[in-house]
Each structure stands twice: as C-alpha cells, then as structure tokens.
Amino acid sequence: MILFNLEFSQTLLKNTADMFRVDCIDGLIIKKERTKELLEGSLAFATALVPYLGYQVVAELVNEGLDEGKTIKDMVLKYDLMTASQLDRVLDPSTVTEPAVIDTELRDQICISENYINYRSKIGK
C-alpha cells in the first residue's frame, strides 16, 4: 500500500510538472523592456533603497510617487538624493535579487549630503 501511494504521488508530481511546462512555460516570450518597466515600477523595488535612505524617506518617496504616477527612481532623482549611477548600481536587478551587501561608504555619503538632510527635515523625520 505504501509503495503504491508513493508511486502514485510520484506519477502525480511528474504529470503536474509536465502540465506546468507545457501550459505555462513552453512558448513563453519574454519582453525585456516590459519586464524592466514592470520591475522599476514595482513598489517592492523600493525596498533596496531602505539601507541607504532609511525606511521613512523611502516610504514618503513611494507615496509621493504613487500620487504623481512616477517610479521610485524618478522620485529619488527629483530630490537629488542619489546620482543616477548610484541609483543604477543599488537598483540593479542582479543586485536586488541576491543577498544584500550594503555599500556603507555610499550610505554614509548619502546621509551627510545636503539634499538628504533637507528632504528629511521637509518630511519631519
């Protein structure tokens, strides 16, 4: 009985994997530009900025970006909190999807910048 159920479960798992491949994976066309657009527009993408800008600042930027229909990148650049190259490095998809290694030099540089200090005082944090 145990062997029968084990074999049945194995067959069921194999059939499920085959169906998933045939119905969901085969023929899938990935549009890189659309994928990049969706990633950059994702609110989850903003979490990579928390170690550099702090939770309160990122939350405020996300809320303001939602109101204005802009991405987190647009909002960070709008207030000149980071340069475009810094932002690209921190928000690089290969970096965001791996365990985080925080660039403490960059974080410290951002935290003492005049634009960052002014933004934090503007939001009252």
Helical packing angle, 55-68 and 114-123, nearest 10°: 80
Residue 124 pLDDT: 79
Which pLDDT score, from 0 to 100, does residue 26 have? 92
Q: Report the amino acid identity of residue 50.
A: V
What percent of the chain clears pLDDT 70, i.e. is strictly above it?
99
Are 46 and 61 in contact by the 8 Å Cβ rule? The answer is: yes
Residue 30 has pLDDT above 70, yes or no: yes
Give domain limits for the chain.
1-28, 32-123
The average pLDDT across 37-57 equals: 87
pTM of the model: 0.72
pLDDT of 45 > 90? The answer is no
- pLDDT above 90: percentage of residues in the chain: 63
Q: What is the reported pLDDT for 125? A: 61
Query: Is the pLDDT score of 97 beyond 90?
Result: no
Q: Residue 58's closest CA among 69, 41, 73?
A: 73
**C-beta separation of 79 from 85 below 8 A:** no
Which of 18-22, 26-30, 70-74, 88-92 shows the highest mean pLDDT? 18-22
